[in-house]
Structure 1
Amino acid sequence: METIVLTGASGGIGLVALRRLRALRPDAHFVLLGRRPPADPGTTGGRGATEHIACDLLSLRSLRSATNTLVTRLEAGELPPLRAVAANAGVQYVDDTTVSEDGFEATFAVNVLANHVLLRELGPRIERRGRAVVTVSDTHFGDLRHNLGLIPAPRWSSPERLARPGAFGGRSPTTAGRTAYSTSKLAAVHLVHEFARRLPDVDVIAFNPGFVPGTSLARRAGRVSRLVLGALGPVLTRTPIASDVASSGAALADVVLGRTAASSGAYVDRDRVVPSSSASHDPSREAELWDVLERLSGADGGASPA
């Protein structure tokens, strides 16, 4: 028996991954963190179970409550040993001024800060050579080859600034929102590298599903953007740039279970290890990001801003 924790499993590639994980590990205990449970988590004939813990990743209070519950139950032996954590949830907003409950820019709050808190609390509890997987994006490359110019390149600055609303001001709201997204995904790759250093007994992996039309990621996009994506999506899935939901979800499950071979700190593009961008390898930047996230989350003993 083992426990596998997932975020972002209520739909899209996360739900597909959950179904595959249940099929491959019918005796595992799955814990899903999110605002709502999946409508159809699938069934299993084994002894495993799937449970949902309500958790809003836009709220540090909610996230801490969920992770504290998990840690308490793991330490009390109420749950099987923790085998893997899949930090799959992600958001993309139409601007860079939407704020979280704690006053942080919402894209950064979910794609970076929430992942930091999740792995900070659960990472040390993962079994030796278990896995922590963070879903990232090839938008962090910021080039035409990886996203056809659909998403602006990341614009790195102080992590303290990136966490605040309006970090990409001076651009149109939509461009600023998309830049916030690509920058948050670069930060997520940095986060994987830093956790790989700090969790030597755990394989910490960055997983890129590619561009996946048909998920809820672009649900906050404008009507025109949604129509364009809806029309182009089926065409793009026939190209190397995009993947369908089924194959991306299956690839995520295989990475979580270690069926896709990858060493700690690796960047997995769907089903194979490839180099992440040159800009994503910067130990000093990664250490700075860690320190800021520790402070913003209150993990360093200080109070996070409200």
Structure 2
Amino acid sequence: MKHTIVMTGASRGIGRVAAEQILRQSPDVRLLVVARGSSGAQVATELGKGGNTVSHIAADLGSLDSVRSAATRIRDLLDSGELPPLHGFVGNAGIQYTNALTEGPDGFEATFTVNVLANHVFVRMLQDRFVAPARIVITVSDTHFGDFRHNLGMVPGPAWKSPDVLARTGAFPEPDTAAAGRTAYSTSKLAAIYLVHEYARRLPAGIDIVGYNPGFVPGTGLARNADPVSRFAMRRILPAMTLTPFATSRHAAGRYLADVVLGSIQAPTGSYVDRNRVDRSSEESYDPRREGELWDAAERFTAARAARDAFTLSRPCRRAAPNTA
């Protein structure tokens, strides 16, 4: 039966591989890619070769107004029948800056906007359009552990603060440095896991949400805002690490992501999927107080009025606590 999967971050890197794998493994999928400007049309054309059904909607994930407009358009297409029933959302897009001072048009720090708030707007505004069984997958990162084993010392660990602080520029010491930008990244990925846990409590039965960690994947576009030396290292030197257990190849990470999306990798709602298996995320990532606090803040920041009017998700839990593997 034809069904729709909405995906961000399908233009390049592991997302592009995952999109190709999803279409190859599930010919009934109508893939809707969300991308900036004209890149979505190009990606949709390329992915649509061979008879695949792929369409696109333009959105700048750094602008919450743009994300709301895209989500509203998707709702309209689903309601009109132009898109088949919605069975999946993949929030794969992510960004890392060389500072913690980059501000988006909504006044929020740009890393937090793209990696946390954009996904929240999409899920919140589409939540009553999902048809069970449905799966939401948010790409997270093992940088949230903050130890050498998981990031080889390349990314500082998260530095959690009040969401009202994290959402604004200058949240970390020496905010004009690359270290602060990387701290903003790892902290945003911890925040994403918190929201996965909170959604797992709130979403109705049959609509599952999981966090997917691809591991360290050299050669993707994540470092596109880095300095020239770092970009060269990511493209030309660090890919050799995929021959070791410390890194994942782009193809393998994309294939695992597709398997998570399609349910080939079984994962209970609220799970943390480390590459191709359910595992436990960091001890810090299990904190119901922070999860609820972040949810409330994300609601305030995104002001998702349309979603609240259409369908309210309430606490207390319908489900057990998130999977702790």
TM bin, normalised by shorter chain, reads over 0.9
2:139 maps to which residue?
Answer: 135
Map 1:120-269; keep pairs closer than 5 Å. 120-170=124-174, 173-201=177-205, 202-269=207-274
* Contact 1:19 1:41 (C-alpha < 8 Å) held by counterparts: no
Amino acid at match of 2:190: L
* Contact 1:140 1:182 (C-alpha < 8 Å) held by counterparts: yes
* Contact 1:124 1:199 (C-alpha < 8 Å) held by counterparts: no
- What secondary structure is seen at the aligned counterpart in 2 of 1:41? helix
Distance 1:103 1:130 in 2: 33
Unpaired stretches in structure 2, ≥5 consecutive residues: 307-325
Distance 2:62 2:191 in 1: 17
Map 1:12-23; keep pairs closer than 5 Å. 12-23=13-24
Q: Offset of 1:290 from its aligned partner?
A: 0.5
Q: Offset of 1:103 from its aligned partner?
A: 1.2
- What secondary structure is seen at the aligned counterpart in 2 of 1:276? coil
- What secondary structure is seen at the aligned counterpart in 1 of 2:70? helix
Q: Which string of whole-angstrom CA distances, capped at 9 and with x for unpartnered residues, describes residues 246-282 of structure 1?
A: 1111111110000101000000011100100010001
- What secondary structure is seen at the aligned counterpart in 2 of 1:124? coil
Distance 2:73 2:175 in 1: 42
2:313 maps to which residue?
Answer: none
Whether 1:90 aligns to 2:94 is: yes
Whether 1:59 aligns to 2:49 is: no
Amino acid at match of 1:233: L
Q: Offset of 1:169 from its aligned partner?
A: 2.9
2:4 maps to which residue?
Answer: 3
Amino acid at match of 2:154: L
Amino acid at match of 2:13: G
Q: Offset of 1:45 from its aligned partner?
A: 4.7
Whether 1:293 aligns to 2:298 is: yes
- C-alpha change, 1:60 and 1:171, in structure 2 (3 Å) is closer
Which of 28, 42, 47 is matched with 1:42 structurally? 47
Distance 1:41 1:196 in 2: 34
Q: Offset of 1:44 from its aligned partner?
A: 5.6
- C-alpha change, 1:62 and 1:172, in structure 2 (3 Å) is closer
Q: Offset of 1:20 from its aligned partner?
A: 0.7
Q: Which string of whole-angstrom CA distances, capped at 9 and with x for unpartnered residues, describes residues 74-125 of structure 1?
A: 1222211101100000000000001111111000000001011111112332
Distance 1:232 1:272 in 2: 28
- What secondary structure is seen at the aligned counterpart in 1 of 2:31? strand
Whether 1:100 aligns to 2:104 is: yes
- C-alpha change, 1:155 and 1:300, in structure 2 (3 Å) is farther
Question: Which stretch shows the higher mean deviation, 93-102 or 71-80?
Answer: 71-80
* Contact 2:214 2:253 (C-alpha < 8 Å) held by counterparts: yes
- C-alpha change, 1:58 and 1:172, in structure 2 (3 Å) is closer
Amino acid at match of 1:272: R
Whether 1:111 aligns to 2:81 is: no
- What secondary structure is seen at the aligned counterpart in 1 of 2:211? strand
Distance 2:98 2:154 in 1: 14
Q: Offset of 1:170 from its aligned partner?
A: 3.0
2:310 maps to which residue?
Answer: none
Runs of 4+ in 1 over 6 A off after TM superposition: none
Amino acid at match of 1:150: M
Amino acid at match of 2:66: S
Distance 1:230 1:23 in 2: 27
